Amino acid sequence: MGTVAEFNKITDTEDFFDFFDLEFDERLVNSKRFHIMKKFGEMVDRAKQNNWDSDTKLLEYYKFALITVYKNFENGYSPSAADVWEMFDKPSACGTCSTSSSCSDVEEVSHGVHACTSTTAISF
């Protein structure tokens, strides 16, 4: 297992599994990638709210979280339609970046058309 800094640089789903040396079904990951990473990202965000004694314990939690989420989908978990489409019920203020409902980086770009000028960062 690597370091927290290495973990934070990962962007691909398969790389998270490789980082923790976990086996996975490529077909399952390909078909449920968005949902797996969404749930995993939620667990990672929750972990950031806690104080961890060491990076090792934090990485162990991340590994546990990935295993838990993956196993749920492997065992047939299927998100409800409400979970899947929730993001479309709460469009962003600018309608471009869809990162939040109160985007503060909205600027008029042309003839009353507004766009988000912030760059989106994906973090899990």
Q: Does 124 have pLDDT greater than 80?
A: no
Of residues 99 and 107, more confidence is placed in 107
At residue 80's C-alpha, the angle toward residues 76 and 84, to 5°, is 110
Provide the 10 A C-beta neighbour count for residue 124: 19
Instruction: Provide mean pLDDT across the span 23-41.
Output: 91
Distances (CA, A) of 37 to 40, 44, 93, 102, 113: 5, 10, 24, 24, 32
Least confident of 6-10, 29-33, 71-75, 96-100: 96-100
Sign of CA dihedral 6, 60, 120, 70: positive
Threshold 0.75, pTM exceeds? no
